[in-house]
Amino acid sequence: MGAFFNTILYQPLFNGLVVLYKYVAFEDLGLAIILLTIVIRLILYPLFYHSFKNQTIMQRLQPHVQKIQHDHKHDKEKQAQALMQLYKEHKVNPFSGFLLILVQLPILIVLYNLFLKGLTPESFGNLYSFITAPSELHHSFLGLLDLSSKSIVIVVLAALLQFLQSRLSLPKTNDDSPTAKIGRSMIYVGPVMTILILASLPSAIGIYWMTTSAFSIIQQLIINKKLKDKNYDRAIQGTSQKVS
């Protein structure tokens, strides 16, 4: 399995990082990491978009999910049928988030190892025969930050971007139910976990985390605009009347 991941994921990503570092990022490892992250997110854009859109609609449907669960709390079969009808009506898959995790997890593991190790003379054994190793190695970002060391600034910025992305995904609602309150409180869990995880890691990982969070923010803004243009709030109000 290790050899499989090395051939299918690690080597292509490593060679991509070297090419970006050498020919595009002016031998700035931080810029190369940002560019590689953007390339990966663009390749996976349809999958992320579909999953983020599903999650956003699911959050907006939560009041109606709770009503169905309450109305059919003594009949699990009817409850399941009503929930599936609700999801079908709004064309969402409640399990799409698991697919995103399954696809994303191997890539995240490889990127973690790649950025953690950085570019070293020993790692150039993974280069394809048609790609030459850089003549010089600079483990820095804009000449200001050593990516092999920790950076509290990067950690804080990554946490703030994650908070903003989570905040944008929440629906604008006056729902004060316990579930809604838990959902709103969860937007603080991600940033806290980000701080705890990145605080002990090289800032190269933080640069990646910041970039993917920034990309997610842009994607979430696009999703929110499209849902607004399609009057999803009005459609959900129609759902409310049906399940009442």
Which SS3 state, helix, strand or coil, does residue 142 take? coil
Task: Note the pLDDT of residue 28.
Answer: 93
Percent of the chain with pLDDT over 90: 39
Name which of 229, 231, 189, 244 is nearest 90 in CA terms: 231
Residue with tokens 């992320």: 48
Looking at residue 194, what is its pLDDT? 92
pLDDT in tens, 186-239: 788 889 999 999 999 999 999 999 999 999 999 989 988 888 876 655 555 555
pLDDT of residue 178: 65
CB atoms within 10 A of CB 122: 8
Task: Compute the average pLDDT of residues 39-50.
Answer: 88
What's the pLDDT tens digit per position in 85-140? Answer: 988 888 888 777 677 777 778 888 888 888 888 888 889 999 999 999 998 888 89
Which residues make Cβ contacts (< 8 Å) with residue 154, sequence separation at least 6? 145, 198, 203, 206, 207, 210
- % of the chain residues with pLDDT over 70: 88
Domain extents in the chain: 2-243
**51-74: average pLDDT:** 84
pLDDT at 19 over 80: yes
